[in-house]
Chain A
Amino acid sequence: MTLDPMHAMIRFGLGRRGSEALPTDAKAWLRAQAQEPDPAQAAPISSMLAALEAHRLDREMKVMEGQPSRVSLLWKADAPIAMRILAETEVPFRERLVWLWANHFTVSLRKGELRPLALPYVQEAIRPHVTGRFVDMLRAVIRHPAMLWYLDNHESMGPESAAGLRNHRGLNENLARECLELHTIGVTAGYTQNDVTEFAKVLTGWSVDMGAASPGFAFMPERHQPGPKTVMGMSFPEGEAGGEAALTWLGNHPATFRRVAERLLRHFAADQPAQDDVRRIADVLRQTHGDLKAATLAMLDLPAAWQPLTKLRAPADYVVASVRALDLPEAERPDMLGLMGHFGQPLLNAPLPNGWPDTAADWADGEMLLRRADWAVGVAGKHPTLDPMALAEASMGDLLGTATRQAIQRAGSRREAVALALASPEFQRR
């Protein structure tokens, strides 16, 4: 079977950029992206340390009236870099993996203090691990100040810890619960409320030290609940090592691997992935101790990966694919961040810790699809020299259907023709 390069660029990539070269061997092109180093790891996104120091400076030295805060300046500097990577990357498959796992381990700007931290979080806790071991990503995520703040663990104290007794404070089980339910084994794994409470005790003391010379993650023994804890029958020792051991266990749990496999397949293959396929990828994860690279490569060998496109481009994907298809110089590019919000998926802004949904039904909202069309009319008007048929052919190739081709050809204006290409049913699919 010959694998269509356009199919690979749309399903596993971010859409073709202008008329960039089509890979001669679609699968080899994807495999190479999963195997080679990530060029965007070197992108000049701020560090977590810089974000926390900016927070501290904002707090210590009041922001002058009318002046932007230091933390808002960081976000303003970092967000365009993230958008540029999406618009220009030559390893789009890897970028898709980054945002898939960032969504699995959602942090959201709806908690305002996360604004300067969220992109450093993606860069430091997610990106280095998307083709590494799942457990390493999990450990990086749970130690990251963005996640500790987002799910309140920085304040949690063992009721019998020194600080807990002194301050009459105690547990906050938010991170423990979502780590079990969303990040790892899932709600069907059979844990009880007692397991959640015990795991919350395991994670007491995992906090953020804003007073340190280098602010960041700190294990604070005076907040840690003394004694060993038992979660789902497993005993974990007192101290930071207990948390490490629990995460190692959860990150390699068969139920976790099954959910990771399902998440991967739901994102790339089908809204309802076949259970045999899920089993196969979960098996790969079990055999490789959770190697996401092995799982990702195994997915490319499934026939389901090369079935016709049935998934709908989520709003952020649609924005990126459109910008790549238009292939405008950076100064003329539309405001990608603003458009993601306008179409219903503002970047790093999921309403709840379970992240953005990932099936066609979730994004097939008529009004939101009309917003895409309205924007397409507008952007086509701003760039009157675009060649509609060239754009449609370059961005969709043989996936372009006869009806859309004819509609573009007989459109009343070049503007309308470009807009129809970007608003067509084919362009909504991935």
Chain B
Amino acid sequence: MAPHGPPLTTRRATLLGLAAVATLRGASLALAAAPTDRRFVVVILRGALDGLAAVVPYGDPHLVGWRGGLVPKRPGQTDGLLDLGGFYGLHPALPALHAMYAAGDLLPVHAVSNGTGTRSHFVAQDRLELGSLHEGITSGWLNRVAGRFGPPKSGETALAVGPSLPLLLRGPAPVGTWMPAGGGHVDAGFYAELAALHAPDPTTGPAIAMALQERGFSAAALAGMAPLPNQGAFPSLCAAAGKLLAAPDGPRLGALEVGGWDTHAHQMQRLPPVLKTLDDGMANLKDGMGEAWKQTVVLVVTEFGRTVRGNGTQGTDHGTASVAFVLGGAVAGGRVAGTWPGLAQPNLFENRDLQPTADLRGVAKGLLAQHFAFDAATLAAVFPDSAGAPPMKGLLRA
């Protein structure tokens, strides 16, 4: 194979201020830079995680009555729950998260919802990523976070890896694309001609210009980040994200997404491998970040929870509240946050779902307030119309 032509941009410094995305078989990664040493990553679990199966309130006397066949064994038994202090237990497929809990780096927040009241995946995901119920909001809230740090310096652009940018990171902050497998044998002169032809096109012009820049970047910065053996795409992307975010001149904001959570049937068989993927991914992210983990906050969210009762096919249908995870070296973890609503029938939401007791926007606002010292006006700009969801306090170490 002929060698590469000279990359259009080679300097890794061009990465500063930017965003990047990688998507492989249903998993994706996006990154954006910000002038701070603190790292912030959002992981979206698409399809609706059953919060009652991930962080199991085994101490609630009503749990087994509603969904006996969907509850793992109690802590201490073979393949039993991993205890979180006597009331909750982590699903046994989450050992790495349990180790983080023991180290004080994991803070599950239970009974949270995004306050939308819909059970449509597509509406709820949009609202989760837009961070608003307001019709006029079209940018993702993480893009607005990036925007609060001011415009990128001249010559700096955004970087995205993969075929699609999640709504969470779409918006005015420029974002391009990058994929792990580059197109090796094409002459740089051809690309220059192509870019010139597309330049006047408002849709394809900027997209192609950005993608070419990122290919220049990719060869240099992502060398050695090939998928690890025996791992799916999401854990590999997490490992890559960790290394990118750890770099002194690397991006500071990240978005990851992973699907497979819509467990309408045979949940006891179908959920553990997906949880394991998440667990491996978070372990890889932490390993990849090294020392930077201490300055990192990761927020893991899903669009809504699932029914408290099992459905007719050993699964669960679309519900309301679920669990969120906050993890990282900056997190005041080792406990479960949130207010447990209880599973007695009068406490169920619409006699079917876990009652929400907190708003996910409040969790995100609490993290941004403490991690990036965003004031009330900045938080209101990132999450408009969220006065009813005040920042949750004490999520991070003081």
Q: Do A and B come from one complex?
A: yes
Contact partner, B203, options A312, A354, A370, A424, Cβ 8 Å: A312
Whether B208 contacts A370 by the Cβ 8 Å rule is yes
> From DSSP, what is the main secondary structure of chain A's interface residues?
helix
A366 with B203: in contact, given A155-B312, A187-B120, A420-B197 (CB under 8 Å)? no
Q: Which of A168-183 contact B (CB under 8 A)?
A: 169-174, 177, 181
Q: Which of B169-191 contact A (CB under 8 A)?
A: 176-179, 183, 185-187, 189-191
A155 with B208: in contact, given A364-B203, A373-B186, A424-B197 (CB under 8 Å)? no
Q: Does A25 contact B (CB under 8 A)?
A: no
Shortest distance in angstroms between A263's beta carbon and chain B's nearest beta carbon? 15
Complex: how many Å from CA A425 to CA B191?
13
Query: Which of chain B's residues have a CB closer than 8 A to the CB of A155?
Result: 265, 312-313
Whether B194 contacts A373 by the Cβ 8 Å rule is yes
Whether B209 contacts A156 by the Cβ 8 Å rule is no
Query: Which of chain B's residues have a CB closer than 8 A to the CB of A404?
Result: 197
Query: Which of chain B's residues have a CB closer than 8 A to the CB of A420?
Result: 190, 193-194, 197
Complex: how many Å from CA A169 to CA B209?
55
Query: Which of chain B's residues have a CB closer than 8 A to the CB of A156?
Result: 312-313
Shortest distance in angstroms between A410's beta carbon and chain B's nearest beta carbon? 9
Q: Does A428 contact B (CB under 8 A)?
A: yes
Q: Does B294 contact A (CB under 8 A)?
A: no
Stretch from B49-57, B210-218, B277-285 forming part of the interface with A: B210-218
Q: Does B74 contact A (CB under 8 A)?
A: no
Q: Which of A365-401 contact B (CB under 8 A)?
A: 365-371, 373-374, 377-378
Q: Which of A316-348 contact B (CB under 8 A)?
A: 344
Query: Which of chain A's residues have a CB closer than 8 A to the CB of B121?
Result: 352
Query: Which of chain A's residues have a CB closer than 8 A to the CB of B194?
Result: 373, 420, 423
Query: Which of chain B's residues have a CB closer than 8 A to the CB of A411?
Result: 193
Query: Which of chain A's residues have a CB closer than 8 A to the CB of B215?
Result: 367, 370
Shortest distance in angstroms between B92's beta carbon and chain A's nearest beta carbon? 25
Q: Does B163 contact A (CB under 8 A)?
A: yes
Complex: how many Å from CA A423 to CA B194?
7
Whether B212 contacts A366 by the Cβ 8 Å rule is yes
Complex: how many Å from CA A172 to CA B178?
39
Query: Which of chain B's residues have a CB closer than 8 A to the CB of A369?
Result: 198, 204, 207-208, 211
Q: Does B123 contact A (CB under 8 A)?
A: yes
Q: Which residue of A lies closest to B123 (CB)?
A: A187
Q: Does B26 contact A (CB under 8 A)?
A: yes
A416 with B208: in contact, given A152-B313, A187-B120 (CB under 8 Å)? no
Complex: how many Å from CA A36 to CA B145?
55
Complex: how many Å from CA A412 to CA B192?
13
Q: Does B311 contact A (CB under 8 A)?
A: yes
B338-358 vs A: 1/0 string, CB under 8 Å? 000000000000101000000
Complex: how many Å from CA A362 to CA B163?
10
Contact partner, A170, options B46, B186, B197, B311, Cβ 8 Å: B311
Q: Does B122 contact A (CB under 8 A)?
A: yes
Contact partner, A169, options B122, B179, B189, B313, Cβ 8 Å: B313
Contact partner, A312, options B118, B165, B204, Cβ 8 Å: B204
Complex: how many Å from CA A403 to CA B209?
17
Complex: how many Å from CA A36 to CA B210?
46
A403-426 vs B: 1/0 string, CB under 8 Å? 110010001100010011001110
Q: Does A159 contact B (CB under 8 A)?
A: yes
Whether B317 contacts A173 by the Cβ 8 Å rule is yes
A45-79 vs B: 1/0 string, CB under 8 Å? 00000000000000000000000000000000000
Whether B204 contacts A193 by the Cβ 8 Å rule is no
Complex: how many Å from CA A165 to CA B366?
47
Q: Which residue of A lies closest to B121 (CB)?
A: A352
Q: Does B251 contact A (CB under 8 A)?
A: no
Q: Which residue of B lies closest to A110 (CB)?
A: B26
Q: Does B315 contact A (CB under 8 A)?
A: yes
Query: Which of chain A's residues have a CB closer than 8 A to the CB of B196?
Result: 407
A367 with B162: in contact, given A172-B312, A193-B350, A424-B197 (CB under 8 Å)? yes
A174 with B264: in contact, given A164-B312, A373-B186, A374-B186 (CB under 8 Å)? yes
> Which of B46, B123, B186, B212 has the most A CB atoms < 10 Å from its CB?
B186
Complex: how many Å from CA A360 to CA B190?
24
A367 with B197: in contact, given A172-B315, A187-B120, A374-B186 (CB under 8 Å)? no
Q: Does A351 contact B (CB under 8 A)?
A: yes
Query: Which of chain B's residues have a CB closer than 8 A to the CB of A365?
Result: 163-165, 177, 207, 211
Q: Does B318 contact A (CB under 8 A)?
A: yes
Q: Does A42 contact B (CB under 8 A)?
A: no
Whether B313 contacts A364 by the Cβ 8 Å rule is no
Q: Does A247 contact B (CB under 8 A)?
A: no
Residues of A within 8 A of B (CB): 152, 155-157, 159, 164, 169-174, 177, 181, 187, 193, 196, 312, 344, 351-352, 354, 360-362, 364-371, 373-374, 377-378, 403-404, 407, 411-412, 416, 419-420, 423-425, 428
Provide a sorted-by-A list of 27 A–B residue pairs whose CB atoms are within 8 angstroms: A155-B313, A156-B313, A164-B312, A169-B312, A171-B312, A172-B311, A173-B264, A177-B120, A187-B118, A187-B122, A352-B121, A364-B203, A365-B165, A365-B207, A366-B206, A366-B209, A366-B211, A367-B178, A369-B204, A373-B183, A373-B194, A377-B185, A377-B186, A403-B197, A423-B194, A425-B198, A428-B204
Closest 7 pairs (CB-CB, A-B): A366-B211, A170-B312, A374-B183, A366-B207, A367-B177, A155-B313, A344-B163
